[in-house]
């Protein structure tokens, strides 16, 4: 644990470029929380609207603690509303009239069933930006399918490109599709806010699927398939675009990752590993030929790494101008001085643990940085405070089943 002076303290007055923007987050689990935490980190007043059972993200626990919620619930406020009751819906409508952004991730059609179709929302507040998160979008044959990231990671083409050719496709061990969609969503919200500020638009609806951002990050797969007629296959940690590029085992049992994606770097690597003749060998002289003969390239590069401990191999490669780095686990990251000095991970005050490491606020902005205003709220912690802000003093929320972080 860091020294007390190194712990980030929450400051209620910390601002940011989105200070004054009110966001109502009615979503659940990862994508919506990823979207709204980015807005919250930069000053937006993000109000998590929760039922008595709370956002299911609170139930993702490690050793009994909801560390996901502590990380992605930071800088937000929590209000309990029972939207099955007239009082809860009245409170929500009052909040919508004061909001800039509304985020939901119900199955398409659910919002309409609740009487909150986009037309109704924009009638309540013509300047409202409505973000509708779903697995496959609000339209199309798959709109009603359950929208979980696992399905999208499979159907986007990502899984079939991940893993080794003689094994099954590999899904990511984390909510990758949700995270990527959340980042796209935060970008969309800021663009919509800018358009509203410039007077080119008022309120609008953002149809944000998990599928499309996940597909987009795969790059020119469709164009490659059209032009070549081929479907790219799994290559493990190698690449079917550039060579050398792989993960290599060193003599001490540790791994390095190396990329020779530029011609000049590939030539340097052949010199370093003691095979300068490969630079003029027709099988390895160009990137296209190296890709075709990838197994031979990896055999030569792998043999060089296998004869050296990782630190020595990294030093030699880096001094010669090769692009190489260690394969880290989280323990390695925690011990690496670059992560510490750059503040990639920061110690943030936490009532339960004293402090907890979290990813820092991103991106880094010199003129309008984000800030740490308050920790992830307890379930319904700010209910009375938020209701009072819209002139409601009567109960509009149920009691939480249990008070949870």
Secondary structure, 3-state, 190-250: HHHHHHHHHCCCCCEEEEEECHHHHHHCCCCHHHHHHHHCCCCCCCCCCCCCCCCEEEEEC
In angstroms, the CA 249 to CA 381 distance is 50
Q: Following DSSP, what letter does each residue of 47-93 receive, concatenated?
A: EEEE-TT--GGGG--BTTB-HHHHHHSTTEEEEE--TTSHHHHHHHH
Distance from C-alpha of 58 to C-alpha of 67, rounded to nearest angstrom: 8
One DSSP character per residue, 249-284 reads E-TTS-EEEEE--SHHHHHHHHHHTT-GGGGTSTTT
Active site residue 82: no
- The rounded distance, in Å, linking the Cα atoms of 392 and 396 is 8
Strands 323-326 and 255-259: antiparallel
Of 195, 301, 190, 199, nearest in space to 249 by CA: 301
Catalytic residue among 178, 281, 311, 384: 178
CA atoms of 183 and 97, how far apart (whole Å): 26
User: Do 75 and 23 contact (CB within 8 A), yes or no?
Assistant: no
**Tokens matching residue 393:** 């003093």
Structure tokens at 314: 């990294």
Tokens of residue 172, six digits: 């990511």
Q: Residue 399 carries which DSSP code? A: P
List 347's β-bridge partners, or say none.
7, 357
> Looking at residue 9, what DSSP letter applies?
P
Active site (catalytic) residues: 178
């Amino acid at each position: 644990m860091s020294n007390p002076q190194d712990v980030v303290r929450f400051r209620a007055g910390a601002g940011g470029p989105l200070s004054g923007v009110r966001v109502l987050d009615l979503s659940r689990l990862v994508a919506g929380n990823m979207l709204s935490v980015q807005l919250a980190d930069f000053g937006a007043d993000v109000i998590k609207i929760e039922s008595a059972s709370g956002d299911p993200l609170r139930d993702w626990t490690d050793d009994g603690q909801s560390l996901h919620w502590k990380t992605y619930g930071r800088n937000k406020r929590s209000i309990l509303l029972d939207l099955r009751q007239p009082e809860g819906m009245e409170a929500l409508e009052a909040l919508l009239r004061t909001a800039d952004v509304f985020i939901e991730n119900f199955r398409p059609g659910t919002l309409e069933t609740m009487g909150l179709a986009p037309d109704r929302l924009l009638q309540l507040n013509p300047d409202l930006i409505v973000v509708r998160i779903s697995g496959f979008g609000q339209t199309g044959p798959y709109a009603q399918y359950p929208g979980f990231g696992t399905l999208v990671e499979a159907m986007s083409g990502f899984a079939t490109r991940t893993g080794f050719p003689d094994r099954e496709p590999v899904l990511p061990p984390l909510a990758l599709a949700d995270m990527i969609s959340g980042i796209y969503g935060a970008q969309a919200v800021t663009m919509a806010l800018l358009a509203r500020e410039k007077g080119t638009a008022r309120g609008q609806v953002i149809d944000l699927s998990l599928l499309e951002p996940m597909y987009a990050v795969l790059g020119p797969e469709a164009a490659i398939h059209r032009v070549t007629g081929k479907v790219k296959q799994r290559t493990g940690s190698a690449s079917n675009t550039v060579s050398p590029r792989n993960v290599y085992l060193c003599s001490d049992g540790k791994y390095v990752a190396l990329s020779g994606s530029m011609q000049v770097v590939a030539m340097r690597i052949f010199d370093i590993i003691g095979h300068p003749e490969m630079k003029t060998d027709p099988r390895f002289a160009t990137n296209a030929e190296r890709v075709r003969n990838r197994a031979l390239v990896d055999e030569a590069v792998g043999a060089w790494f296998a004869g050296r401990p990782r630190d020595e191999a990294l030093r030699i490669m880096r001094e010669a101008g090769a692009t190489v780095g260690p394969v880290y686990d989280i323990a390695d990251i925690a011990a690496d001085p670059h992560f510490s000095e750059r503040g990639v991970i920061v110690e943030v005050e936490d009532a339960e643990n004293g402090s907890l490491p979290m990813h820092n606020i991103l991106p880094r902005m010199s003129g309008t940085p984000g800030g740490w205003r308050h920790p992830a709220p307890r379930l319904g912690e700010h209910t009375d405070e938020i209701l009072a802000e819209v002139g409601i003093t009567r109960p509009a929320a149920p009691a939480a089943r249990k008070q949870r972080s």
